[in-house]
Every structure is written in structure tokens, then in C-alpha cells.
Amino acid sequence: MKKIFIALTAAALALTLCACGGNSNSTTTASSTTPASTTASTAASDTTESTPAEGTSVLSTALTAVKAQVTFPGDTSDYTAKRIQRTFGITEEQMDDFAGMYCNDGVTQDQVIYIKAKADSDIKDIQDKLQANLDSIYNVIKNYTPEQVAMIEKATVDTNGQYVCLVISNNADDIKKIFNDSIKG
């Protein structure tokens, strides 16, 4: 029942983003650190929420490298703790660190989310929630934007020790390499 609820919530969010995506008044590039707004209320709630200070953690340093080396097909916003909780159902209490970004145009499904679990007991729950979101995206997109289906079908939820990630991108291998090299180093 919980997975169904999460899937329905994610589907509703995806449809909302599709409907609101064209209303963006500000633009950002993949190297921007300030989220673009899709609506004034979303922008206000996300930008006031805490994000890891760029360059201060392994994951935020890796995200900075991704932004410098990988081109995303649309405007992007960085994930905040509040956005992660709304999108995936993962709480701040479960995360020791996180970094990620997503295309905010409402059509392009590219996204990167890396989370360092606070405890071993959180890893499986984070995996399950990221997978439920991926399944939900697939189920919605397969009917509306079939050109994105192949990219989504290749996406996986991966674990590397305490780190759990979901990368949906045609450049997923490059993005994962940047993050995994940062985690090792």
C-alpha cells in the first residue's frame, strides 16, 4: 500500500511538473547553483531550504564537477532536503549527505541524486524509495514522452557502501564515474 501511495504521489508530481514546466520565468544553466523557479511557491520553499554548501562535502564537490563536465538537455535545479522529502519520501534523518540536480522543464526527465545514508538501516529504505520513484516516472512517461523511455529504462538505483544513487541521463555512465571517483578519493 505504501509503495502504491508513493508511486501515485510521484505520478501526480510528474504530471504537475509537466503542466507547470512552461511557466518558468528564470533560466539557469547546468553550471548554475541557484534553482530556477517553476512556480513562485516552489522556488521560495526550495531555495529557503538547506542544501549542502557547494564544495564542502564529497557529494557537493562531485556535483560541481558534473555540472562542469556534463551538459544537461534543459534548465536544472539542485535538490534540497525538502525537495528530496517531497519527491522521494526520504527524510533528513536518513541522510548524512546528499547532492543532486534535476531538469525542471517538466518534460525532460534527466536527474542525478546521490545520498549518503546516515545508518546501515537506512540504505534499503532509500533504495526502495528511489526505485519507487523511478518506476513511477517510467509508468507516466511511457505514455506521454516515449522518446525518453529508452533513457529511463537504462536507469538503475545503485549502491556503493553507504551511498545510494539514481541517475537518469544519456550521460549516466560519465556522471556515475565522476561521483564514484569522488567517493573513492
Q: For the chain, what are the domain ranges?
A: 2-184
What average pLDDT does range 2-6 have in this prediction? 65
Q: In the predicted model, what is the mean pLDDT of the chain? A: 80
Query: Which of these ranges, 30-44, 108-122, 135-149, 169-183, has the smallest mean pLDDT?
Result: 30-44
How far is the CA of 13 from the CAs of 8, 105, 109, 177, in angstroms? 9, 13, 12, 29
Question: Does 27 have pLDDT greater than 70?
Answer: no
Question: Does 38 have pLDDT greater than 60?
Answer: no
- 15/173 Cα distance (integer angstroms): 28
Question: Does 170 have pLDDT greater than 90?
Answer: yes
**Dihedral over Cα of 4, 123, 168, 35: its sign:** positive
- 158/176 Cα distance (integer angstroms): 10
Any idea what the Cα angle at residue 78 is, between residues 72 and 80, rounded to 5°? 155
- 95/4 Cα distance (integer angstroms): 23
3-class secondary-structure state, position 183: helix
Q: Which grid cell sits at 84? A: 528530496
Residue 24: pLDDT band (50, 70, 90) is very low
Query: Which of these ranges, 10-14, 38-42, 76-80, 172-176, has the smallest mean pLDDT?
Result: 38-42
Torsion angle of C-alpha atoms 161, 162, 163, 164, degrees rounded to 10: 100
3-class secondary-structure state, position 152: helix
What average pLDDT does range 41-54 have in this prediction? 46
What average pLDDT does range 118-123 have in this prediction? 96
- Closest by CA to 113, choosing from 172, 69, 170, is 172
What average pLDDT does range 59-87 have in this prediction? 96
Question: Does 31 have pLDDT greater than 90?
Answer: no
Question: Is pLDDT larger for residue 46 or for residue 15?
Answer: 15
3-class secondary-structure state, position 80: coil
CA atoms within a 13 Å half-sphere pointing along the CA-CB vector of 155: 25
